[in-house]
Amino acid sequence: MIDNILYLYGGDHPWDSSLWVTSDDRVRGGASRSHLSVSNPERARFHGHLDITALGGAGFASQHSLGTLSWDLRDYEGIIVAVAGPGKADGKRYALTLKDELPPPRDDGREQAAISWEAEFVADKPGDVKLRWEDFRATYRGRPKGDARPLNLGDIKRVGLMMRSFFGQQEGDFSLELHAIAAFKRVPSSTATTVVAEPDEGEMEERKDLRRNESDLEEFPSRPAVQHSWWRKLLCGMA
């Protein structure tokens, strides 16, 4: 079995910063800032500063997709976040967010709060972070919402990247280098083709240096990055 990949950002859907929108806690009187910078079509950087002083320990900085998407991901098993190298990642706790409903804006033009499905992960090294659908938890304004209906995978309207304080647990500068965000599913090797370049000496040394570092959290278990030569693969048979 291998992964069949549907690129959402990166890969054959090149990164474009104009397709992302800033949504920071400044709309609520905070002082956090985030950016989605694209150095080339194959690489993006989610970065900024998370401030928790203005809101008394709370705070968030996020980027989300522009407009309204219409993704049907029912045939897939989850999302891959491909963390780029070659250096060590910042080790902070991030969240990938999905929404299947976007309420109309308020009279003052600001967005209304809505249920968001979030999967958390720790970016501690280059590699692939696999977030399965069961890893996504419904939240409302950053707090669990246990009575929410299931996520409608047939009509995903928004995807986002978030850095938040988790109520005072982290703050300061953050930086997440990305190769891609993609949907994945496991398929028999006979139905998909993978072409892998032979690793060079530098990559072999990098593999030796990297160690698995997992962090299990009680309520929202965060997924660690798994070392994987994402940028050396071409996957065919895409949906």
Q: Is residue 227 part of a domain?
A: no
45-49, 164-168, 209-213: which range is least confident on average?
Answer: 209-213
pTM over cut 0.85? no
Burial (CB < 10 A; 0-12, 13-18, 19+), residue 152, is: middle
Q: Is residue 225 part of a domain?
A: no
Q: Is the pLDDT of residue 17 over 80?
A: yes
For 111-121, how does the pLDDT look when each residue is reduced to its tens digit (9 = 90+)?
Answer: 888 999 999 99
Q: Is residue 158 part of a domain?
A: yes
pLDDT tier for residue 199 given thresholds of 50, 70 and 90: very low
Q: Is residue 209 part of a domain?
A: no
24-28, 35-39, 115-119, 135-139: which range is least confident on average?
Answer: 24-28
What percent of the chain clears pLDDT 70, i.e. is strictly above it? 79
**Which one has a higher pLDDT value, 236 or 24?**
24
**Which one has a higher pLDDT value, 190 or 87?**
87
Name the nearest CA neighbour of 92 among 68, 56, 129, 122. 122
Q: How far is CA 107 from CA 4, 27, 110, 115, 194, in A?
A: 44, 15, 7, 20, 51
Q: Is the pLDDT of residue 233 over 50?
A: no
**Which one has a higher pLDDT value, 114 or 228?**
114
Question: Across all residues in the chain, what is the average pLDDT?
Answer: 84
Average pLDDT over residues 94-102: 98
Q: Is residue 162 part of a domain?
A: yes
Q: Which pair of tokens denotes residue 184?
A: 């994945």
Q: Is the pLDDT of residue 239 over 70?
A: no
The domain spanning residue 74 has which CATH number? 2.60.120.430
Q: Is residue 196 part of a domain?
A: no
Phi-psi map region of 142: left, alpha, beta (phi>0 left; psi -120 to 50 alpha): left
Q: Is residue 206 part of a domain?
A: no
For 58-70, how does the pLDDT look when each residue is reduced to its tens digit (9 = 90+)?
Answer: 999 999 999 999 9
Q: Is residue 179 part of a domain?
A: yes
Range of the domain at 64: 2-187
One DSSP character per residue, 192-216 reads S-EEEPPP-HHHHHHHHH-------
Number of domain units in the chain: 1
